[in-house]
Structure 1
Amino acid sequence: YVPVRPAQLPVTTRMVVDLKGNGGSLRVDKELLAASVLDGASVSVGISQAAAFDVPSLLMTLDRYPYGCAEQTTSRAMPLLYVNEMASGVGIASDADLHGRIQDAIYKVLSYQASAGSFGLWGPGSGDLWLDAYVTDFLTRAREQKYDVPAQAMNQALSNLQNAIGYDQDVKDRGSEIAYALYVLARNKKASIGDLRYYADTQLEAFTSPMAVAQLAAGLALYGDTQRSEATFQAALQLASSSSAYDDYRSDYGSPLRDGAAMLALAAESKPVPTIVPALIKLVTQERAAVRWTSTQDESWMLLAARALKAGNDSIALTINGAPHAGAYSDQIAGSDIANSPLTVANTGSNPLQAVVTTVASPIQPLPASGDGFTIGRTYYKLDGTEANVTEATQNERYVVVLNIYEQNKWPSRLVITDLL
């Protein structure tokens, strides 16, 4: 038996179903995957108070990102630090293998660290202060959770951040990088409280990223400056709420959804918790409903933000295939099992709920050609240079494949071309 992958890559679909109080129900059965290849397919069902923070589907989709660069490795691993902490509150089982996966991610990103402490996307490198701060944030949180983070590597990473902000004070163009570096240093008790107060008091309007402003606020909270932290969090919310135009070409992987989720995560971690948390939950819920596609950054920070909502699911009352269930619920069903094991969920409580049904499956029929900003042409050639008709290919024949990528817009971009050939 030789496994053969489907001709089409798996497609992820997300559907939100409202469950009315006192009887609203949902049935998940084979009809959901009627147009998909069942072998290798999976269905995630999550029921909670807010669909935007559906932890099971976020974990499933985040885990499917295939590229192992420093940003994606960090985005996949950082929220896993808190998954077992959230498990009971969101209706998922604790993962006994989680520790090993996180430790492997730590060693992987450390393999991308240069001798000066900076990080590259695909190997040791430098020049991306935001990435340096992001990876060092992950390493900081991992060390707080008692993972093995070599002291020398950690010290080099922190020294790199200190050196960078020591000479880089261009808040207008580099505010996101400076704020993140200051926050990570504050989390390690190595930031200058004077710098944090200076930026919060005199330079706040120069920061164009709501996440950056929230990081300044969180840094102030870490040093016990509660009043100034609260005011700065309020400024971050005001900036996020008033921004009508958004710079999609930022170098910090940002989006309105990512910024909102990061603000919520940072606020929920601060002590005391700032008063803007309910408003941030509403903001992130609105931003999630407005987008179709999400990035690793969006999903990673939304998982971190979900910790702010874990207490709100205690009052949920459901029946699962007729059996009573209290609290949030989640399940993941293999495509091959769904025909014989359909799932029926009913909301027996008085409050309305939302169910998120996420499928990952390869379609039976080929998807139509499509694109957004780019078109790709593929031409096959024989080894003698003549054009080939691959529909007539026979075993052991070799071809040269030429890809032509045409850019329809002058978008600054970082591209990865994946061709199944």
Structure 2
Amino acid sequence: DVITFRLKAGSNIGIASVSVKAAAGDVNAGQHIELDVRMPGGLVTDVVEAAISKGEMWKQAIKFPGVTGSNAITLETARIPPLNLGKRLSFLIRYPHGCVEQTTSAVFPQLYLDKLLELSPDKQDKIQQNVKAGIGRLRTFQTTDGGFAYWPGETRAQDWVSNYAGHFLLEAEKAGYLLPLRVISAWKTYQRKKAISWGPDRTRSELIQAYRLYTLALSGAAELGAMNRLREERNLPTAARWRLASAYHLAGQPEAAEDLIQDRKISISAYRELSNTYGSDLRDKAMILESLCLMGRPEDAMPIAKAISSELGSTKSLSTQTTAYALVAMARHAGISGNSDEMKFAFSWNNGEEVAVSSKHPLVQMQLDAGDSSSGIIVVRNTGDTMLYPRVILEGIPAVGTETAAKNGLKLSADYFTLKGKPLNHTNLDQGTDFVVRVTVTNSGHSGDYEEVALSHVFPSGWEIRNTRMDMSDSDAPDLGPESDYDYQDIRDDRVYTYFDIRQGESKIFRILLNASYLGKFYLPMITAETMYDATINGRIPGEWIQVAEAGEGG
């Protein structure tokens, strides 16, 4: 006989255990099973901050944003205006969409973290693991001509990310990391060929070329002819002018570098790109700050550093490209500005013992124990002579059912069908049912076409994705109907990420084949879509509970 048991997960996350014991006469048997209980929702981050003068104390009640077991708390204290380092870096590392730009952005700032804060041996080891993994993954993006494509497997290299990924690899090599054979030599060949054949042909093409020339100069292979041609371009944009000046500086021609920037105001108009260079005015300012640091101009760098620090310290949504470059530039600035002012403070968490801290680094991060509490109290005392900017970064996964719908330039709808195309009730299905979800994404905004849109679709634990690429032959795969084109699709165990461009007013349809596999009640997380380089353009469908029932009991 087969006996089934219904189990109900508790409200906390973590490892649950089930013990089964059976006895028949003198015979006994048992089994211990561990189950990983997790929340299907996404991680959220809250920040509480203050500014405390010499001798002052900050006492703050804390409420965690997530369910018990999912929460984390970090105390970040700085003697410079806050960079929001913990939150910004966590955003880069945990960003789920793994294109070449985001892969590079996740690891690039980690090369310079030691300029900003003291790193424990464990933290240093973790950074090394992350950087090595990033270097390894970048190999999957390199094309046969030596450049880097936006998605793995694509055959055409993209100009900006070839600059960006190559720049990171050069800096990683300088930091002592071993690069795969021929990756840099092939990339240099590609960069040199593109530099020599360049002509202004699209928006920000001068910046793309200037960055290309900078990376070649950084690699010790400066293309002076191409640099001189770009220098003669009329009305060279500010960001391109400073990047080209950096290239001349690296090439050993400081007079040419100085001539380019002499008496030039640093002014960048506000903008944000969804593709091309994935840039923004803040990203360009960060690139200029990096140039100022390289050329040894700390006085000119200070006002830009303060402006970037203010943006990083705000709650404003920033793209991966902007976040990463801003952190890289600020770390470089910290490296040239010195550590003359020692920071001293003492703190206690949840009425525990007070801990004294002193550091000459600009910033100190300390991971605290969240425990099983839903709240707590943090106390920070400034025991030094400088102004301090403490902030508490709280992370956690909130309880299910708290999501809301949104239509911010993108409108989503999800419909469910049998394999024969008949509508069905997806909230109560028979075990073993194959079915199709059809998601329609519409560009409902008034800002033109959207590029680099990411559709994130996570499925409940009771459903399985039927990956027709892997588990079916062409003859066995059902006809799911017409589907819109996309740039790349990432099918994982419990979710599908789809990436595409969409014109204003256009609707795109994406279908996924699923199976109701496991009996029980499960939560279907919200479905979201957003432009990857401007998170304010988004749409979402709230989550809901679904049931997988015994055959004949669903519907």
CA distance 1:36–1:339, shift in 2 (3 Å):
closer
CA distance 1:170–1:26, shift in 2 (3 Å):
farther
Which structure carries more strand by proportion? Answer: 2
Correspondence list, 1:309-388, <5 A: 309=334, 311-312=338-339, 314-321=341-348, 322-327=354-359, 328-333=363-368, 335-336=370-371, 343-364=378-399, 365-388=401-424
Distance in 1 (alpha carbons) for counterparts of 2:301 and 2:79: 16
Contact 2:81 2:306 in 1 (8 A): no
Distance in 2 (alpha carbons) for counterparts of 1:122 and 1:302: 24
Gaps of 5+ in 1: none
Q: What is the CA-CA distance between 1:298 and the residue it aligns to? A: 2.0
| 3-state SS of paired residue (1:216) | helix
Q: Which 10-residue stretch deviates more, 256-265 or 387-396?
A: 387-396
CA distance 1:43–1:324, shift in 2 (3 Å):
closer
> Which residue of 2 is the match for residue 116 of structure 1?
145
Q: What is the CA-CA distance between 1:338 and the residue it aligns to? A: 5.6
> Which residue of 1 is the match for residue 504 of structure 2?
none
Distance in 1 (alpha carbons) for counterparts of 2:272 and 2:98: 26
CA distance 1:260–1:172, shift in 2 (3 Å):
same
Q: What is the CA-CA distance between 1:294 and the residue it aligns to? A: 1.6
CA distance 1:13–1:196, shift in 2 (3 Å):
farther
Contact 2:67 2:397 in 1 (8 A): yes
> Which residue of 2 is the match for residue 10 of structure 1?
43
| 3-state SS of paired residue (1:258) | helix
Contact 1:237 1:276 in 2 (8 A): no
Distance in 2 (alpha carbons) for counterparts of 1:229 and 1:357: 42
Distance in 1 (alpha carbons) for counterparts of 2:176 and 2:305: 30
Instruction: State the AA in 2 paired with 1:309.
Output: A
Distance in 2 (alpha carbons) for counterparts of 1:340 and 1:289: 24
Distance in 2 (alpha carbons) for counterparts of 1:54 and 1:139: 26
Q: How many pairs are equivalent?
A: 410
Q: What is the CA-CA distance between 1:395 and the residue it aligns to? A: 4.3
Q: What is the CA-CA distance between 1:218 and the residue it aligns to? A: 1.6
**Aligned pair partner of 1:107 in 132, 136, 145:** 136
Distance in 1 (alpha carbons) for counterparts of 2:388 and 2:59: 11
Q: What is the CA-CA distance between 1:401 and the residue it aligns to? A: 0.9
Identity of aligned residues (%): 21
Whether 1:418 and 2:418 are equivalent positions in the alignment is: no
Distance in 1 (alpha carbons) for counterparts of 2:430 and 2:371: 32
Contact 2:53 2:386 in 1 (8 A): yes
TM-score by length of 1: 0.86
Gaps of 5+ in 2: 1-15, 17-34, 349-353, 460-555
Q: What is the CA-CA distance between 1:271 and the residue it aligns to? A: 4.2
Q: What is the CA-CA distance between 1:194 and the residue it aligns to? A: 4.6
Q: What is the CA-CA distance between 1:15 and the residue it aligns to? A: 4.0
Whether 1:199 and 2:230 are equivalent positions in the alignment is: yes
CA distance 1:314–1:417, shift in 2 (3 Å):
same
Instruction: State the AA in 2 paired with 1:326.
Output: S
TM-score by length of 2: 0.67
Query: Residue by residue, what CA displacement relative to the aligned partner does 1:222-254 show, whole Å, maximum 9, x if unpaired?
Result: 1233344345456776232xx2x4253451010
> Which residue of 1 is the match for residue 319 of structure 2?
295
**Aligned pair partner of 1:135 in 155, 159, 165:** 165
Larger Rg: 2
> Which residue of 2 is the match for residue 27 of structure 1?
60
Q: What is the CA-CA distance between 1:306 and the residue it aligns to? A: 2.7
**Aligned pair partner of 1:189 in 201, 208, 220:** 220
CA distance 1:115–1:267, shift in 2 (3 Å):
same
Distance in 2 (alpha carbons) for counterparts of 1:275 and 1:363: 45
- The CA RMSD over aligned residues, in Å, is 2.9
CA distance 1:234–1:15, shift in 2 (3 Å):
farther
Instruction: State the AA in 2 paired with 1:42.
Output: A
Distance in 2 (alpha carbons) for counterparts of 1:412 and 1:235: 38
CA distance 1:203–1:420, shift in 2 (3 Å):
same
Which structure carries more helix by proportion? Answer: 1
Instruction: State the AA in 1 paired with 2:135.
Output: I
| RCO comparison, higher one (Cα < 8 Å, 6+) | 1
Instruction: State the AA in 2 paired with 1:399.
Output: F
Whether 1:282 and 2:306 are equivalent positions in the alignment is: yes
Contact 2:150 2:157 in 1 (8 A): no
| 3-state SS of paired residue (2:455) | coil
Query: Residue by residue, what CA displacement relative to the aligned partner does 1:361-387 show, whole Å, maximum 9, x if unpaired?
Result: 222251211232101111122344332
| 3-state SS of paired residue (1:123) | coil
Instruction: State the AA in 1 paired with 2:42.
Output: L
Distance in 1 (alpha carbons) for counterparts of 2:410 and 2:369: 34
Instruction: State the AA in 2 paired with 1:164.
Output: K
Correspondence list, 1:86-101, <5 A: 86-88=116-118, 94-101=123-130
**Aligned pair partner of 1:262 in 287, 295, 307:** 287
Correspondence list, 1:134-283, <5 A: 134-170=164-200, 173=203, 174-200=205-231, 202-203=232-233, 205-207=235-237, 210=239, 212-230=240-258, 232=260, 238-240=266-268, 243=269, 245-246=270-271, 248-249=273-274, 251-268=276-293, 270-273=294-297, 275-283=299-307
Q: What is the CA-CA distance between 1:403 and the residue it aligns to? A: 0.4
Distance in 1 (alpha carbons) for counterparts of 2:366 and 2:234: 44
CA distance 1:99–1:291, shift in 2 (3 Å):
closer
Correspondence list, 1:28-43, <5 A: 29=62, 31=63, 33=64, 35-43=65-73
Contact 2:116 2:334 in 1 (8 A): no
Q: Which 10-residue stretch deviates more, 336-345 or 326-335?
A: 336-345
